[in-house]
Amino acid sequence: MAKPQLTTQCIDCFCESIAFQSLSKSEIDLLNAHRVELKFNKGEVICKQGSFATHLLFVQKGLTKSYLEEDSRTQILCINPPGCFLEIPSMSVDNVFHYTVAALEDVEVCFFDLSAIKKVAQENAKFAWFLMKIGHEAQILTFDRFFSLTQKQLHGRMADILLCLSNRIYGSYEFVLAFSRKDLADLTAMSNESAIRILKDFKDDGIIETDGKGIKIVNLEMLKKVSRFG
């Protein structure tokens, strides 16, 4: 694993971020003084569900996945684009990580000491509000997934995920997956084989084109229809 290093100052990295618009110089200095920057290789676990949460994560670069795990079963909660905060809910409650985060590609993460975050947040209400807001946004996303996974059949679930990846992560109707079919299956709460079969169905129906890890949505309307009624 990479050695701790601080290549940048918070004030360089985040000065444009909404997060830090509300922070004073001294508050930024405090956060900056209590953080660690690390690089992770593709596949590595960044923080583990159940372990003691001493830091809040900010992913500067690279895709990550957050997932729940228990008894060798895993459920991916979310694919996270770079520029996101992770493990927010651990912050205020019990200082235990409630999901595992792993790197889908090479990733750069900034770990902020929770005591420092907490100190600033309990003095600066605007910053607390900001943290709350990004936590809520994540939670609202979770609601959609909750509904999709519990109420829809395989085709509908897969359609939802493809739409979500297209919108939130890749910002295009054509993209190359950074992860395996198994991950796609863990995202949609189905078996490996089912995920493959559904993709094939979509391909046969002219909804998508696939080429290895490449996926192109060619019939968006149809995909949305499947998402709704599948």
Partner DNA sequence: CGCGAGCTTGACGTTGTTCAACTAGAGTGG
Partner DNA sequence: CCACTCTAGTTGAACAACGTCAAGCTCGCG
Decide which of DNA, a second copy, none touches 218; Cβ closer than 5 to 8 Å per partner kind.
Answer: none
Number of residues forming the site for a second copy (CB under 8 A):
43
Our CB check for a second copy shows the closer of 141 and 218 to be 141
Name which of DNA, a second copy, none residue 196 binds, using a CB cut-off of 5 to 8 Å depending on partner kind.
DNA
Q: Give the gyration radius of the chain's Cα atoms.
A: 19
From the list a second copy, DNA, none, pick the one residue 61 interacts with, judged by a Cβ distance below 5 to 8 Å according to partner type.
none
The binding track of 23-62 with respect to a second copy, each residue x by CB under 8 A or -, is: ----------------------------------------
In this structure, are residues 223 and 173 in contact, taking their beta carbons and an 8 Å threshold? no
Is 2 buried (19+), middle (13-18) or exposed (0-12) by CB count in 10 A? exposed
Among 192, 209, 220, 225, binds DNA (CB under 7 A): 192
Contact of residue 213 among DNA, a second copy, none (CB under 5-8 Å per partner type): DNA
228 binds DNA (CB under 7 A): no
| Whole-number Å distance between alpha carbons of 79 and 188 | 12
d(CA 215, CA 229): 22
Asked if 142 interacts with a second copy (CB under 8 A), we say: yes
Residue 191: CB atoms within 10 Å: 13
Q: What is the SS3 string spanning 123-170?
A: CCHHHHHHHHHHHHHHHHHHHHHHHHHHHCCHHHHHHHHHHHHHHHHH
Cβ neighbours of residue 113 closer than 8 Å, sequence gap 6 or more: 31, 34, 35, 54, 55
- Residue 142 interacting entry, from DNA, a second copy, none, C-beta within 5 to 8 Å by type: a second copy
Q: 91 or 110: whose CB is closer to a second copy?
A: 91
> Interacting stretch for a second copy, rule CB under 8 A, among 2-10, 54-62, 64-72, 168-176?
64-72
Does 146 interact with a second copy (rule: CB under 8 A)? yes
Q: How many CA atoms lie within 13 A of 161 on its CB side?
A: 26
| Contacting residue, 194, 222, 224, 225, with DNA by CB under 7 A | 194
70 is a contact residue toward a second copy (CB under 8 A) = yes
Nearer Cβ to a second copy, position 48 or 61? 48
228 lines the binding site for a second copy (CB under 8 A): yes
- Binder among 1, 7, 150, 212 for a second copy (CB under 8 A): 150
Beta strands in the chain (DSSP E): 35-40, 45-47, 55-61, 64-70, 73-80, 84-86, 100-103, 107-113, 174-176, 208-211, 214-217
